[in-house]
């Protein structure tokens, strides 16, 4: 955060004299000085505008899960009309492949090590990114409650490095068999 | 200055590299994660580099790597995966071709049946490319310069059963890849070094003088046996490699294919057909199901789902299952049958015209191959006075290596079979030396050996695994239809140690000046007592194995072309670990006149 510039006493004296007149005769200036009186000295930082995310790693991950586990094929197909047995067989292909891909590229661990259903206590200052309060949310910590979901946290995620000029949006190239 | 000790497992199906910094006492060998293409345009570091070479088609563009944006071929995971799509452009099992007895291993023959736009390469070049890739990945990781692989002490492993010429070709590939400070090591020995390193000092309690450690190494493509004898020499324990087995092209891939065949039949019986592309995923699914069933004794079956080829996954995916009984009967009983100690591998008579291909073992029973190995090597420890000659070498301990042996039921069956043979001979059962990582042990052990070579640490001795002979045709009048008798002269005895030399005392050979002269060449892994110069008139059929012929060309300088010059042979085992044969004219024209004998020329087959 940038610090305010130091202003010398003489400058301040001159500025106080100038301001007293402008506050008296310039209503808009007075209003602005009024608002600064208690608000932070710095102009408020511009509201965070969402940056366009670099989607390349996400595309790579989709491509990886398609390559190893046919995930995109599975999600793009309408499964409503198929019996559960067919869905189950396809799910095995997807599960086997995606699980293997996930395990080689990421270390995923539960956020909480307790068994789901166990009673847990959250002390003051718990990390709200790690634990979400649900149900009758009120009052002050410590909170006592039941662990409903252990949560997941990726300790590591490594995607292949990209080399050469290849369009990341191609999740799987079309295949044409010759001969 | 050398900064690292490096071990490279140049495997039939996978390569791995282990590295240890020098000057850090006790730093264990670590596996280098090898950067490689895993898909078009995607590079990832993985502990194993699949030994596959893929010739990219013009339409695929460059197979860019971080260190070479213009590369036209791929090595590693992407090569393996792409090879399923376009198999004619893929080289697999280059290492098995490297030890093929009857093809020219320096000639561009691979892949067999490649399309016309592919400029085929030799088995040596394929091995060179794998080593080159490892070298490039190493230099990318460690920065090159003083830390470049070319400047480090590198140990490359070969199967114990590799013959002299296959070893030499491996060295040739390594030199081409820029590896200069090179030593070869037999894979089963590497596995033992890895085990020794892994136990810390505890191994001295587990291996005692008199022990015979049998190393059973079943990799993806080959099976290799070695016996290592622990002896007490002046109060300290020494390890001596006393026997190695034949080269058996039989491994985990055969097992996965056998299961895939079974699954294919089940699908066919259900009226479903599997195309070539799906076949690859059947093999893959079978391997996964095999690993599940063999590691969890409670599972009765494991499902096999084979995805459809097109984008519609539902409706086209085939499902079947592999049961425990099927895996047991196919793998445990099929590849490790309970057999008697006098069982022998069956050999299938080959047709007069065989298709050019790899000489795969015709008997898949590893236990029969083991019985034959132990019987052939019954006298490997030498005759001990007062001891009744046994029909079988008696191991006292067993060390497993290779991914296949991770499966406990396979290890248990092999140990049970071996123990039954030993019990019948009145010998105690074997102890299993455990705790090694069977996939990466060879690379780690090779690295440990590179450290051992620099000083402290126990070294396995053993020298050459074979005695070598040159065939000499008898000088008899030519009779049509009758081949002149051939006698075999021992040129390098069994167990010659690295850095030693053997001169042949008497027998003269004549070599024609100015043109290549070929000799038949033989090896024996059982004749331990022949000395350099021993002449064999007769030998038993399985004692001597004919190797690719050797060739020598004497330049005509100073001699009349067509003259026959009397020479004598001299053999060395180099520090690298290869056999070197030289001819020396009996009447040299200048000091130290000698010529190198080429060990690996094209066979006649």
Residues of A in contact with B61 (CB under 8 A): 164
DSSP B213-273: EEEEEE-SS-EEEEEEEEEEETTEEEEEEEEE---B---HHHHHHHHHHHHHHHHHHTT--
Distance CA B396, CA B430 (A): 5
Whether B64 and A74 lie within 8 Å, measured CB to CB: no
Whether B43 and A166 lie within 8 Å, measured CB to CB: no
N-term to C-term CA, chain B: 46
| A61 to chain B, closest Cα gap in Å | 11
Whether B61 and A164 lie within 8 Å, measured CB to CB: yes
Distance CA B459, CA B367 (A): 29
Tell how strand B212-218 and strand B397-401 pair up.
parallel
Distance CA B4, CA B152 (A): 6
Query: What local confidence, expressed as pLDDT, does residue B605 receive?
Result: 36
Query: What local confidence, expressed as pLDDT, does residue A37 receive?
Result: 62
What is the length of chain A?
179
DSSP B117-170: T---B-HHHHHHHHHHHHHHHHHHHH-SGGGSGGGSEEEEEE-TT--HHHHHHH
DSSP annotation of B101: S
Distance CA B429, CA B190 (A): 24
Q: Which residue has the tokens 């991914």?
A: B403
Distance CA B31, CA B138 (A): 11
Query: What local confidence, expressed as pLDDT, does residue B577 receive?
Result: 84
What tokens does B328 get?
Answer: 């047991």
Q: By C-alpha distance, which of B238, B244, B212 is closest to B226?
A: B244
Whether A163 and B43 lie within 8 Å, measured CB to CB: yes
Query: What local confidence, expressed as pLDDT, does residue B563 receive?
Result: 82
CB atoms within 10 A of CB B582: 17
- CB-based burial, B165-184: b 16+ in 10 Å, e otherwise: bbbbbbbbbbeebbbeebbb
Check if the beta carbon of residue B169 is closer than 8 Å to that of residue B158: no
CA dist B298 → B255, B338, B413 (Å): 22, 23, 18
Torsion, CA B16, CA B21, CA B25, CA B31, rounded to 10: -20
Query: What local confidence, expressed as pLDDT, does residue B297 receive?
Result: 85
What lies within 8 Å, CB to CB, of B322 at 6+ separation is B259, B262, B263, B286, B289, B290, B293, B301, B302, B304
B84 touches chain A (CB under 8 A): no
Residues of B in contact with A166 (CB under 8 A): 40-41
Q: Of B257-271, B320-334, B455-469, B590-604, which gets the smallest average pLDDT? A: B590-604
Sign of CA dihedral B102, B108, B111, B117: negative
B425 touches chain A (CB under 8 A): no
Residue of chain A whose Cα is closest to the Cα of B64: A164
Residues of B in contact with A93 (CB under 8 A): 305-307, 313, 317
What tokens does A72 get?
Answer: 């995109």
Residue to substitute from B38, B41, B67, B113, interface A, most A β-carbons within 10 A: B41
Confidence of residue B350 (pLDDT cuts 50, 70, 90): very low
**Mean pLDDT value of segment B156-179:** 93
Confidence of residue B157 (pLDDT cuts 50, 70, 90): very high
Phi, psi at residue B62, to the nearest 5°? -70, 150
Point out the residue among B41, B69, B319 whose CB comes nearest to the CB of A162: B41
Check if the beta carbon of residue B468 is closer than 8 Å to that of residue B479: no
What is the per-residue pLDDT across B24-44, written as a single tens digit (0 to 9) for each?
777 889 999 999 999 988 999
Whether A163 and B319 lie within 8 Å, measured CB to CB: no
Point out the residue among B38, B288, B312 whose CB comes nearest to the CB of A77: B312
CA dist B72 → B14, B58, B61, B120 (Å): 21, 8, 7, 13
- In the predicted structure, residue B391 carries a pLDDT above the cut 80: yes
Whether B319 and A92 lie within 8 Å, measured CB to CB: yes
Residue of chain A whose Cα is closest to the Cα of B289: A96
Confidence of residue B46 (pLDDT cuts 50, 70, 90): very high
DSSP annotation of B379: T
Check if the beta carbon of residue B305 is closer than 8 Å to that of residue B285: yes
Q: Which residues pair with B518 in a beta bridge?
A: B551
Confidence of residue B424 (pLDDT cuts 50, 70, 90): very high
Q: Where are the beta strands (DSSP E) in B326-453?
A: 397-401, 431-433
Domains and CATH numbers, chain B: 4-185 (3.30.420.40), 186-249+357-460 (3.30.420.40), 252-335 (3.90.640.10), 467-597 (no CATH)
Confidence of residue B121 (pLDDT cuts 50, 70, 90): very high
Residues of A in contact with B315 (CB under 8 A): 82, 86
What tokens does A11 get?
Answer: 């400058």
Distance CA A50, CA B33 (A): 37
Phi, psi at residue A156, to the nearest 5°? -150, 140
**Mean pLDDT value of segment B49-71:** 93
Q: Coil, helix or strand for A83?
A: coil
Q: What is the mean pLDDT of chain B?
A: 87
Distance CA B483, CA B591 (A): 38
Share of chain B above pLDDT 70, in %: 94
Point out the residue among B43, B65, B314 whose CB comes nearest to the CB of A79: B314
- In the predicted structure, residue B388 carries a pLDDT above the cut 70: no
Q: Which residues pair with A109 in a beta bridge?
A: A153
Distance CA B254, CA B260 (A): 10
User: Which H or E element spans position B474?
Assistant: none
**Mean pLDDT value of segment B450-468:** 85
Residue of chain A whose Cα is closest to the Cα of B70: A164
Point out the residue among B62, B307, B318 whose CB comes nearest to the CB of A70: B307
| A154 to chain B, closest Cα gap in Å | 19
**Degrees (nearest 5) of the Cα angle B455, B457, B461?**
95
A/B interface, count of CB pairs below 8 Å: 76
Residues of B in contact with A70 (CB under 8 A): 307, 313
Query: What local confidence, expressed as pLDDT, does residue B604 receive?
Result: 42
Q: Coil, helix or strand for A65?
A: helix
Whether A162 and B314 lie within 8 Å, measured CB to CB: no
| B303 to chain A, closest Cα gap in Å | 9
Phi, psi at residue B5, to the nearest 5°? -100, 130
A65 touches chain B (CB under 8 A): no
Distance CA B35, CA B135 (A): 11
pLDDT less than 50: residues of chain A: 1-3
Residue of chain A whose Cα is closest to the Cα of B71: A164
Whether B312 and A86 lie within 8 Å, measured CB to CB: no
Q: By C-alpha distance, which of B391, B406, B548 is closest to B468?
A: B548
Query: What local confidence, expressed as pLDDT, does residue B456 receive?
Result: 67
A89 touches chain B (CB under 8 A): yes
Residue to substitute from A56, A65, A73, A156, interface B, most B β-carbons within 10 A: A73
Query: What local confidence, expressed as pLDDT, does residue B603 receive?
Result: 45
Check if the beta carbon of residue B210 is closer than 8 Å to that of residue B381: no
Whether B41 and A94 lie within 8 Å, measured CB to CB: no
Residues of A in contact with B42 (CB under 8 A): 60, 63, 160-163
CA dist B603 → A57, B128, B529, B544 (Å): 53, 22, 28, 17
**Mean pLDDT value of segment B153-171:** 92
Give CA B259 to chain center in angstroms. 24
Check if the beta carbon of residue B231 is closer than 8 Å to that of residue B458: no
């Amino acid at each position: 955060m940038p610090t305010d510039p130091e202003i010398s006493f003489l400058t301040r004296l001159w500025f106080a004299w100038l301001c007293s007149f402008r506050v008296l005769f310039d209503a808009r200036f007075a209003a602005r000085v009024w608002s600064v009186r208690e608000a932070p000295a710095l102009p408020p930082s511009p509201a965070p505008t969402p940056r366009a995310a670099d989607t390349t790693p996400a595309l790579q991950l989709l491509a990886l899960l398609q390559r190893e586990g046919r995930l995109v094929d599975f999600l793009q197909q309408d499964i409503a009309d198929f019996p559960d047995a067919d869905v189950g067989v396809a799910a095995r292909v997807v599960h086997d492949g995606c699980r293997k891909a996930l395990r080689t590229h990421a270390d995923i661990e539960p956020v909480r090590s307790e068994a789901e259903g166990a009673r847990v206590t959250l002390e003051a200052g718990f990390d709200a990114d790690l634990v979400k309060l649900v149900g009758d949310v009120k009052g002050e910590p410590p909170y006592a409650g039941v662990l409903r979901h252990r949560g997941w946290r990726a300790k590591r995620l490594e995607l292949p490095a990209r080399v050469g000029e290849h369009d990341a949006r191609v999740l799987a190239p079309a295949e044409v068999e010759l001969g | 200055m050398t900064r690292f000790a490096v071990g490279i497992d140049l495997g039939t199906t996978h390569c791995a590299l282990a590295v240890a910094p020098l000057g850090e006492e006790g730093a264990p060998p670590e596996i280098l994660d090898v950067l490689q293409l895993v898909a078009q345009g995607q590079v990832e570091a993985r502990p194993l580099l699949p030994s596959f070479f893929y010739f990219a088609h013009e339409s695929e563009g460059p197979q860019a790597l971080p260190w070479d944006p213009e590369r036209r071929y791929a090595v590693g995971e992407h090569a393996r995966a792409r090879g399923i799509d376009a198999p004619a452009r893929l080289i697999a099992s280059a290492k098995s071709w490297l030890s093929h007895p009857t093809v020219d291993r320096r000639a561009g023959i691979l892949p067999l049946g490649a399309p016309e736009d592919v400029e085929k390469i030799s088995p040596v070049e394929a091995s060179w490319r794998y080593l080159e890739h490892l070298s490039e990945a190493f230099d990318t990781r460690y920065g090159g310069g003083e830390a470049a692989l070319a400047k480090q002490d590198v140990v490359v492993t070969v199967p114990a059963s590799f013959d002299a010429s296959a070893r030499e070709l491996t060295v040739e590939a390594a030199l081409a890849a820029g590896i200069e400070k090179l030593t070869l090591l037999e894979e089963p020995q590497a596995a033992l070094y890895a085990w020794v390193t892994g136990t810390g000092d505890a191994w001295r309690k587990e291996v005692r003088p008199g022990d015979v450690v049998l190393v059973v190494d079943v990799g993806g493509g080959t099976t290799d046996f070695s016996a290592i004898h622990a002896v007490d020499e002046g109060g300290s324990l020494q390890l001596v490699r006393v026997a190695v087995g034949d080269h058996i092209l039989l491994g985990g891939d055969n097992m996965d294919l056998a299961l895939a065949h079974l699954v294919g039949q089940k699908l066919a019986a259900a009226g479903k057909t599997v195309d070539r592309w799906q076949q690859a995923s059947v093999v893959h699914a079978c391997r996964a199901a095999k690993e599940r069933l063999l590691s969890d004794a409670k599972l009765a079956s494991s499902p096999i789902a084979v995805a459809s080829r097109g984008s519609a996954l539902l409706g086209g995916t085939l499902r079947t299952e592999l049961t425990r009984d099927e895996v047991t009967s196919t793998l445990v009983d099929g590849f490790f049958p309970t057999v008697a100690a006098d069982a022998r591998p069956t050999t299938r008579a080959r047709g007069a015209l065989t298709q050019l291909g790899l000489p795969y073992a015709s008997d898949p029973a590893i236990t029969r191959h083991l019985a034959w190995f132990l019987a052939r090597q019954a006298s490997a420890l030498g005759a001990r006075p007062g001891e009744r000659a046994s029909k079988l070498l008696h191991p006292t301990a067993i060390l497993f290596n290779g991914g296949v042996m991770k499966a406990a039921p396979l290890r248990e069956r092999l140990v049970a079979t071996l123990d039954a043979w030993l019990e019948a001979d009145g010998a105690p059962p074997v102890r299993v030396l455990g705790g090694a990582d069977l996939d990466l042990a060879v690379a780690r052990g090779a690295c440990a050996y590179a450290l051992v070579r620099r000083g402290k640490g126990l070294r396995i001795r053993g020298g050459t695994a074979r005695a070598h002979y040159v065939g000499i045709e008898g000088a008899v009048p030519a009779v049509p239809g009758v081949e002149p008798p051939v006698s075999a002269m021992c040129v390098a005895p069994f167990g010659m140690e690295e850095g030693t030399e053997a001169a042949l005392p008497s027998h003269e050979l004549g070599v024609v000046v100015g043109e290549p002269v070929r000799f038949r060449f033989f090896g024996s892994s059982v004749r331990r007592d022949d000395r350099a110069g021993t002449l064999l008139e007769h030998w038993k059929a399985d004692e001597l194995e004919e190797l690719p012929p050797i060739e020598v060309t004497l330049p005509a300088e100073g001699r009349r072309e067509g003259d026959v010059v009397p020479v004598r042979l001299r053999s060395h085992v180099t520090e690298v670990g290869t056999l070197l044969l030289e001819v020396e004219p009996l009447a040299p024209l200048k000091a130290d006149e000698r010529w190198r004998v080429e060990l690996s020329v094209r066979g006649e087959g």
